[in-house]
């Protein structure tokens, strides 16, 4: 049996048991003790994921107090020494996004001024990730948030299924973009009866690569939807399509540029056969569900007898639970990167997949200086 050294002491634990991720494990032993795990949420509903992660790691959640003053200012008090230690801040994002962002920034800065060695943010759903492109005369808010986190003291980020992978380029420190697809694929295989008769559906052409990755791993067919029900971000107007004000100069009539015809969405169409099949729509975020409801109705009309929606981040804002309950959708499966217990009470069709295991393993590997490549095995650029 190979022997591993931890902090100068010999251990008879096989290397394979300490370096590999096993989905059967419930707790993980961290060899070094100079680290702490904190939750930056002031809401008790948002600390559930942090508790699950610390239980798997076999450690206690760091002692701190996060609360809002009467004037809504955020205050953070760290109740134990963090000098020279690796600190992991777990921050789940509730509906009040801006408060959660301030809680994370204030806690990171408090730990920085308390002489923490490394400050790693565990942010399963990265906020403002949809605002990662220029829109007319707006701003790329995701880049602004990345700069704020770096200034506050973060030295590393663990997140999951970024809305656009290019967001990683906004940071000047390491960022690990984990994937939830292994857990969602496992749910499909274990919880959907007769899943071999299913077809993976992309509700827009922009989601086709993600859907293709699921279809290839499950050995299933692929269908792509296109039409007026989908609103691709690439179709939204930005400043590059905004012509300058017309200016007439004496003796000069200006250039005659070719006229760009406006886009017109065709009626919704489905490329692929869904008749008599189970349709599984996959995406990274489900927030406003109107597009998903329209897609489900269209798939029903074309003969699909069951409709499932699989997404990593279940924001489920506004009237989403009611619309799902009244729609042709049979089940919505999301992970616990975002708290949605209230929505589940309003709509029993919403199911949750726990991803705390991979987040805990990422924390263990980063703290021990181990390679993260095992968590990205069989992951391609398009996944």
Secondary structure of 64-121 in HEC code, one letter for each residue: EEEEECCCCCEEEEECCCCCCCEEEEECCCCCCHHHHHHHHHHHHHHHHHCCCCEEEE
- Are 64 and 158 within one domain? yes
Do residue 167 and residue 222 come from a single domain?
no
Reduced to 3 states (helix: H, G, I; strand: E, B; else coil), residue 261 is coil
pLDDT per residue over 124-144, tens digit each?
Answer: 999 999 988 888 888 999 999
The answer to whether position 158 is within a domain reads yes
Range of the domain at 336: 182-229+267-353
Residue 277, H or E segment: none
Do residues 62 and 140 share a domain? yes
Domain match, 85 and 203 both: no
What is the reported pLDDT for 22? Answer: 44
Cβ atoms < 10 Å from Cβ of 55:
15
Does 213 lie in the same domain as 278?
Answer: yes
Shared domain check, 82 and 110:
yes
Low pLDDT (below 50) residues in the chain: 1, 3-26, 30-32, 230-232, 234-235, 248-249
Same domain? For 301 and 346 the reply is yes
pLDDT at residue 46 in the model: 83
In a domain, 111, yes or no: yes
Contact 334, 323 (CB under 8 A): no
The structure's pTM equals 0.83
Same domain, 206 and 64: no
| Residue 88 belongs to a domain | yes
Same domain, 72 and 135: yes
Residue 3 lies in a domain: no
Are 203 and 326 within one domain?
Answer: yes
- Evaluate whether residue 325 is within a structural domain: yes
Query: Is residue 281 in some structural domain?
Result: yes
In the chain, the number of structural domains is: 2
208 and 343 together in one domain: yes
CATH number of the domain residue 209 falls in: 3.40.50.2020
Same domain membership, residue 195 and residue 75: no
379 within a domain of the structure (yes/no): no
Q: Are 310 and 333 in contact (CB under 8 A)?
A: yes
Strand pairing report for 74-78 and 86-90: unpaired
Task: Tell me if 273 is assigned to some domain.
Answer: yes
């Amino acid at each position: 049996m190979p022997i591993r050294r931890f902090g100068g002491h010999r251990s008879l634990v096989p290397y394979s048991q300490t370096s590999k991720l096993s989905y059967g494990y419930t707790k993980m032993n961290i060899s070094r003790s100079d680290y702490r795990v904190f939750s930056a949420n002031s809401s008790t509903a948002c600390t559930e994921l942090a508790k699950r992660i610390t239980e798997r790691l076999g450690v206690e959640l760091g002692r701190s107090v996060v609360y809002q003053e009467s004037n809504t200012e955020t205050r953070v008090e760290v109740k134990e020494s963090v000098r020279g230690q690796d600190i992991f801040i777990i921050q789940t994002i509730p509906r009040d996004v801006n408060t959660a962002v301030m809680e994370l920034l204030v806690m990171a800065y408090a730990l920085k001024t308390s002489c923490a060695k490394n400050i790693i943010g565990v942010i399963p759903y990265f906020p403002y990730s949809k605002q990662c492109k220029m829109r007319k005369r707006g701003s790329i808010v995701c880049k602004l948030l990345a700069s704020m986190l770096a200034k506050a003291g973060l030295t590393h980020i663990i997140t999951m299924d970024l809305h656009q992978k290019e967001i990683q380029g906004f940071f000047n420190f390491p960022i690990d973009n984990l994937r939830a697809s292994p857990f969602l694929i496992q749910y499909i295989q274990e919880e959907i009866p007769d899943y071999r008769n299913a077809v993976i559906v992309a509700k827009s052409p922009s989601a086709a690569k993600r859907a293709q990755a699921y279809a290839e791993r499950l050995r299933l067919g692929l269908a792509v939807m296109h039409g007026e029900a989908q609103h691709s971000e690439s179709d939204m107007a930005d400043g590059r399509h905004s012509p300058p004000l017309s200016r007439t100069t004496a003796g000069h009539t200006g250039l005659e540029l070719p006229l760009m015809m406006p886009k017109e969405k065709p009626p919704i169409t489905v490329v692929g056969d869904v008749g008599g099949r189970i349709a599984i729509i996959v995406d990274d975020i489900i927030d406003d569900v109107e597009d998903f409801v329209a897609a489900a109705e269209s798939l029903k009309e074309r003969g699909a007898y069951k409709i499932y929606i699989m997404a990593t981040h279940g924001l489920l804002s506004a009237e989403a639970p009611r619309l799902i309950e009244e729609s042709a959708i049979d089940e919505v499966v999301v992970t616990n990167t975002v708290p949605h217990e209230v929505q589940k009470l309003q709509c029993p069709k919403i199911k949750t997949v726990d991803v705390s295991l991979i987040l805990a393993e990422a924390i263990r590997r980063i703290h021990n200086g181990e390679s993260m490549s095992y968590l990205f095995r069989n992951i391609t650029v398009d996944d």
